[in-house]
Chain A
Amino acid sequence: MPGTTSTPDIELIIEKKGGGGGGTPPPAGGDGGGDDGKRGRKGRPSPKRYYTGIALGIVSILMFFMALASAFLVRKGASTDWVSVHIPTLLWINTVVLMASSGTVELARKSLAKADLPGFKKYWSMSTGLGVLFLIGQLVAWKQLAGQGIYLASNPASSFFYIFTGAHAVHLIGGVGALLYVSLRNFDRAKVTRAVAAEVTSYYWHFMDALWLFLLALLYLGK
């Protein structure tokens, strides 16, 4: 996993810069509850919960795809109606696009660590754009396959091809949502700092990236 930059430093810089930490953000300690604004006994809660949360979220998403992957292998091993899907060339280009987006996410976080907010915004928007580009590319690849007469219902192999790419795309749309959230949110009032939000999002994004590589390998080697 990337994100080896030490978090506390980043936070410190950001809080000084944005002034977000300095003011009195509504005590996130309220965390719901009925106490927002009334008690200032806690400032921003420790961001550790978000790291733990995303790690656990990643575990359960992984479990979801592992269930499908094992179904893929069992189904393939025991069927007579399996017709391999030739992976469209576009998918390899899409893969490069997705890899690049992971790179720009890291560049964005580096800029943020250097308190270079415009640089962060630039790279972060690039990542978002690349993410959207990947999704469009996937859609075009589906169209190409459909053009060749390979549909979801054609045979087990095509069913798995569509469900793997589809489920990954749905998860990636969530990731694009998170990227947009980080770029559009006003962090002066938020419970998390921008750095934490960016780091948590980047973990998810890199995971989506790695998951895509795994799925592609599965589809390519297992066809």
Chain B
Amino acid sequence: MVTNDDGANANSTAHAGFVSRYLFNTHHKTIGLQYLWLALLSVFVGMILSALLRIHSSWPDTAIPFLASFESTPERYAAVRLLHGSLMVFFVLTAAPQLGFGNFLLPLQIGAEEMAFPALNLISFWMTVASLIGMTASFFFPLQSGIDVWLLSAAIFSVAALLSAVNFTVTTIELRATGMTLPRMPVTVWAWFLNAILSMLIFSVLLAGCSAVLSDRLLGSNFFSAASFLAQQPQNLVRQGSLPVLWQRLFWYFAQAEVYVAMLPCFGIVTHLIATFSRKPVWKERLVVLALCGVGLVGFCVWGYHMFATGMNPYAPLVFAVLASSLGVPAMILMASWFVTLWNARIELSASMLFAIGFVSLFIAGGLSGLFLARHDLARAAVSEDFVVGHFHLVMGVAATFAILAALFFWFPKLFGCRLSEPLGKAHFWMTFAGVYCIFMPMHWMGLLAQSQILSPSQRTLLAASGGSFRTIVTLATLWTVAAQLLFVFNFASTLLRRRELEEDNPWHASTLEWSIASPAPQVNFGDALPTVYRGAYEFPAGFSNDFAPQHLAPELLSQKAR
């Protein structure tokens, strides 16, 4: 059933119409690019929504042009947050690093001509589009039917993600070029591969959860109906009025692992870029791959730590706290590898590398606050909403966005055949970097103050008053950061309009397979013969011209290149 008809290939004729060239093209590069455009659209809508949310929380009386036409109820505000969250999580953080860059680059990096199941790939792309439309539309529906539409869209997204995950996994297992052994795979490929396996497991759970909730809401079944179920739970463990616990368990089972689904490919991308721009192999590459496996494995097991406050076995929080804290181990390995790779290297500080290093910085800053949250006792004492919001935006949202930007700057020549402007890119980086710290650091602080137990009540009232000014700082920083993205839009648009030709096909002197062919990547990836791989992905031996040893170059040719 996964067989696709070979007659259906769309771009067999160069002048095929728009429909067959773009809408029904099964080619992996086209689909990858389409995912990236989708993510770009979503990120800008999501960002504008976040600015609206900040403006509203700082100056609640201001009429906001777009939202004024809606009734101003707390539910509406929550709906804006939901839309912001779903756009960012599903269509930016999940779609861009894995589905966008992954679809485009995975076959190129392993030396394959296509994904394993191109037709399946096309189907899952269009299901993703349908889900994007559904989630956006759900915002405009009345509240209750809006929730139904949202759930249905989430279910569609899950199916799409499952199909993509199977496709990625099979492609990596079966379609690697001759000589592309597992240890020789670039870390990016490892990350996409492991991430696909993780997605395969968790999106089925989200699908099951969504189907059951939808059936409850539409058909009146009794999976999550709260009344009788909650009555059985020990009273002290159930917060009054909390949502049905079972649904929460299934949901967090998915949602916590979803964080790692967003992060894993970013780890891969950043590791790849740091090695390439440091002109050094990835330090302890195998350990890094093991760490990525560890992230996936632990990420799969920590769902319970969102449930500390609900009815659980009293020992369960301890177990989950230990598991959550043990995420620190793979994280430490990754960070050690990044730092040792950077140590004493001839670092080329391109805009792409700046974003990659920015990712490391944000990951550390966000990860440190995660340590507080992983301890269930500390979390209960110290956590208020601002702290959590600050934490996960820094580590998941912003850090992942930095990795996506780093990847975009790096692979732009491969995608479009021209380079983004470096000076503009660097200015964009510094403005954004400063901006996001000014948003999320005060937010952490606000979260801590709100729960502070050591202050007297009068001091707390005083702080609450000053909290307002904090809030204004955060809002101003948000507006600044959103404005800084105009630089990026300008850079992006002007580069594409000018299309200045590349001087060389491999501007970064990278050694992986995608750079062994022309830039932009030709329609047929590798021409008449698939490449053969002779060495690992990160070999930068001194003494060779351009100081790197491409994976596809036969040893005898390589020694000719030696000075």
- Distance in angstroms from B524 CB to nearest chain A CB is 5
Q: Which among A25, A53, A159, A177 has the greatest number of chain B C-beta atoms within 10 A?
A: A53
Tell me how far the C-beta of A209 lies from the nearest C-beta in chain B, rounded to whole angstroms: 17
Q: Once the chains bind, are B118 and A155 in contact (CB under 8 Å)?
A: no
Closest B residue by C-beta to A35: B524
Interface status of B448 (Cβ within 8 A of chain A): no
A56: which of B119, B166, B228 is its contact (CB, 8 Å)?
Answer: B166
**Interface residues of B, count at CB 8 A:** 63
Residues of B contacting A190 in the complex (Cβ-Cβ under 8 angstroms): 3, 6
Question: Is B222 among interface residues, defined by CB-CB distance under 8 A?
Answer: yes
B165 surroundings in chain A (CB, below 8 A): 56, 60
Q: Is the CB of B169 within 8 A of A56?
A: yes
Q: Does B139 lie at the interface of the complex (its beta carbon under 8 Å from any beta carbon of A)?
A: no
Give Cα A190–Cα B3 distance, bound, in whole angstroms: 8
Interface centre among B4, B174, B222 (most CB of A within 10 A): B222
Partner of A163, one of B4, B113, B215, B232: B215
Contact of A32 among B114, B166, B529 (CB under 8 A): B114
A190 nearest in chain B by CB position = B3
The interface stretch among B198-206, B411-419, B487-495 is B198-206
Q: What is the minimal beta-carbon distance from A72 to any residue of chain B, in angstroms?
A: 9
The answer to whether A34 touches B6 (Cβ under 8 A) is: no
Chain B neighbourhood of A59, CB < 8 A: 200-201
Check B229–A75 contact: CB distance below 8 A.
yes
Cβ–Cβ contact B229 & A64, under 8 A? no
A109 interfacial contact with B, CB 8 Å: no
Minimal beta-carbon separation of B237 from chain A (angstroms): 12
* Other-chain contact of A159, B115, B170, B215, B249 (Cβ < 8 Å): B215
User: A49-B170, A67-B205, A71-B246 known; A30 and B212 CB under 8 Å?
Assistant: no
Interface residues of A in 149-164 (CB under 8 A from B): 152-156, 158-160, 162-163
- The answer to whether B170 touches A52 (Cβ under 8 A) is yes
Q: Are A41 and B116 in contact (CB under 8 A)?
A: no
- Please name all residues of chain A whose beta carbon is closer than 8 Å to the beta carbon of B462 when the two chains form the complex: none
Instruction: Say which size band chain A's interface belongs to.
Output: 35 or more
Q: Which of B2, B25, B232 lies at the interface centre, i.e. has the most chain A CB atoms within 10 A of its CB?
A: B2
Our pick among A56, A64, A74, A162 for the contact of B205 (Cβ within 8 Å) is A64
Contact partners of A63 in chain B: CB under 8 A: 200-201, 204-205
Q: Cα distance A80–B232 when bound, in Å?
A: 8
Query: Does chain A have a CB within 8 A of B47?
Result: no
B231 interface residue (CB < 8 Å to A): yes
User: Does B428 have its Cβ within 8 Å of any Cβ on chain A?
Assistant: no
CB distance from B254 to the nearest CB of A (A): 9
Select B212's contact among A25, A37, A68, A181, beta carbons within 8 Å: A68
Indicate if the CB atoms of A49 and B117 lie closer than 8 Å.
yes
Residues of A within 8 A of B203 (CB): 60
CB pair B524–A152 under 8 Å, yes or no, is no
Which residues does chain A contribute within 8 Å of B523, judged by CB atoms? 33-35
Min CB gap A11→B, angstroms: 15
Question: What's the Cα separation between A18 and B121 when bound, in Å?
Answer: 30
Q: Which of B1-55 contact A (CB under 8 A)?
A: 1-4, 6-7, 9, 11-12, 25-28
CB neighbours (8 Å) of A177 from chain B are 1
Q: Is the CB of A163 within 8 A of B205?
A: no
Contact status A36-B9, CB under 8 Å: yes
Complex CA distance for A26 and B3, rounded to whole angstroms: 14
* Min distance, Cβ A51 to any Cβ of chain B, angstroms: 9
List the B side residues contacting A104 at CB < 8 Å: none
Chain A 170-195 residues near chain B, CB threshold 8 A: 174, 177-178, 181, 185, 189-192
Distance of B29 from chain A, by nearest CB (Å): 9
Known: A79-B229, A79-B232, A201-B1. A30 touches B113 (CB 8 A): yes
The residue among A26, A30, A65 with the most chain B CB atoms within 10 A of its own CB is A30
Instruction: Give B137 Cβ to nearest chain A Cβ, in Å.
Output: 25
| A78 contacts chain B at the CB level, 8 A cutoff | yes
Q: Check if A191 sits within 8 Å of B232, measured CB to CB.
A: no
B528 at the A interface (CB under 8 A)? yes
Do the beta carbons of A31 and B113 come within 8 Å of each other? Answer: yes
A78, B246: Cα distance in complex, Å = 10
CB-CB under 8 A from B121, the residues of chain A are: 32
> How far, in angstroms, from A192 to B167 measured CA to CA in the complex?
17
Contact status B223-A32, CB under 8 Å: no
With A60-B165, A78-B233 as known contacts, state yes or no: A31 contacts B118, CB within 8 Å. Answer: yes
The answer on a CB contact under 8 Å between A53 and B231 is no
Indicate whether A33 sits within 8 Å of B174 (C-beta atoms), given known contacts A64-B204, A68-B212.
no
Given A34-B12, A80-B231, A189-B6, decide whether A153 and B219 contact each other with a Cβ distance below 8 A. Answer: yes
* 8 Å CB interface, A8-63 against B: 25-26, 28-37, 39, 41, 46, 48-50, 52-54, 56-57, 59-61, 63
Encoded as 1 (CB less than 8 Å from any A CB) or 0, chain B from 244 to 258 comes to: 001001100100000
- Smallest CB-CB separation from B220: which chain A residue? A153
Encode B521-532 as 1/0 by CB contact (under 8 A) with A.
Answer: 001110011000
- Report yes or no: A79 in contact with B228, Cβ–Cβ below 8 A: yes
Q: How far is the CA of A78 from the CA of B224 in the complex (A)?
A: 12
Bound state CA distance, A33 and B162, in angstroms?
Answer: 22
A167: CB under 8 A from chain B? yes
Could you list 20 further interchain pairs (A-B, Cβ under 8 angstroms) beyond the known A32-B27, A190-B6? A28-B6, A31-B115, A33-B113, A36-B6, A56-B169, A57-B166, A60-B201, A63-B200, A63-B205, A67-B205, A67-B208, A71-B223, A75-B229, A156-B222, A156-B223, A159-B215, A159-B221, A163-B221, A163-B223, A181-B3
The 8 A-B residue pairs with the shortest CB-CB distance in the complex, in nearest-first order: A32-B118, A31-B114, A153-B220, A159-B221, A32-B26, A67-B208, A63-B204, A64-B204
Q: Mind listing 29 A-B residue pairs with CB under 8 Å?
A: A26-B6, A30-B113, A31-B114, A31-B116, A32-B25, A32-B26, A32-B114, A32-B119, A33-B27, A33-B118, A34-B523, A36-B6, A48-B174, A56-B165, A56-B166, A59-B201, A60-B200, A63-B205, A64-B204, A67-B204, A67-B209, A68-B212, A71-B246, A159-B223, A163-B211, A163-B212, A185-B3, A191-B6, A201-B1
